[in-house]
Every structure is written in C-alpha cells, then in structure tokens.
Amino acid sequence: MRVLAALLLSCLGLAAALAQDAPRRKSGLWEISMSSPQMPAPMVSRQCVDEKTDDFARRPSQGREQCSKQSVRREGGNVVVETVCVIEGSTATTRGVFGGDFTTSYKGDMVTKFSPPLHGQAESKMSFQARHLGPCAPGQK
C-alpha cells in the first residue's frame, strides 16, 4: 500500500507543480496524515516547508508513470487536482479536492480509479489532514 500511496502522490505532485494558482503552505514544520480504508493505520509524515518555493502536493516524480492530464484549479474555496497517469500498465484517473487556509491547516480527499485494476485494486480512496506545527528546527529539512 505504501508503494501505491507514493505513486498516487507522485501523480498528484506533477499536477500541483504545473499550477500557478496551487496554494503555498506557510513556512515551517507541517505534519501530514494520510488515511485510507485499505491501510491498517494512517501514515504520518513531517515536512519542513519554505513558502517561497512550496507547492502543497509537490512530490518528485518516481519515473514510473506517464501522465496525459495534469490540472489544478480553484473551485470556490477548494483546490481541485485531476490527473490521468499510466502506472505499471494501468490507467490511474485521480481527482482530489483540498480545502483549508494552508497557513494553519488543510484537508482533502482523493479518489483514484485504476483500469485495469492495479495490484488487484480498482479504486483507492485517501484522506489527508495537515497542520502547521511551528517553525522548523535549525538544519531541519
């Protein structure tokens, strides 16, 4: 499941990196929790962010996917991310909706449909919750 989560975030990050209006998080330390019905427990990570260079969902590409659609747009108070990527021979169509102020917190839900199923999975749902914890410690990245 961790491989699937990394691949999904990679596609999400590709789209976010393209968007000029993608939100930028407040500088400092962020705690991000990802949960899914397919995961036994939430995955929690901490990340130091620089507001000047941040795209909230940006992740480096793993090189295992090819994306034909990558879009990020604002709809009302939300940010909508949509991608269509080929991952290990399966077409992954993802839609994520994120909301919050991106200075203290944000949350979102992402649904990915796989055709044909990837590792026996036709659909994956993930929820995200993130909160700003304060300044980064010296030397922390």
The two tokens of residue 47 are 């990340």
Average pLDDT of the residues in 42-69: 72
Closest C-alpha to 18, from 68, 78, 58:
58
d(CA 90, CA 66): 10
Lowest mean pLDDT among 21-35, 51-65, 117-131: 51-65
Range of the domain at 36: 2-134
Is residue 49 very low, low, confident or very high in pLDDT (cuts 50, 70, 90)? confident
Whole-structure pTM value: 0.76
Is residue 18 very low, low, confident or very high in pLDDT (cuts 50, 70, 90)? very low
The total of structural domains in the chain comes to 1
Is residue 108 very low, low, confident or very high in pLDDT (cuts 50, 70, 90)? very high
CA-angle at 6, arms to 136 and 129, nearest 5°: 50
Residue 140 forms part of a structural domain = no
Please report the pLDDT score of residue 65 as a whole number: 59
SS3 6: helix
Residue 139 forms part of a structural domain = no
Identify the burial level of 62 via C-beta atoms within 10 angstroms of its C-beta, where 0-12 means exposed, 13-18 middle and 19 or more buried.
middle
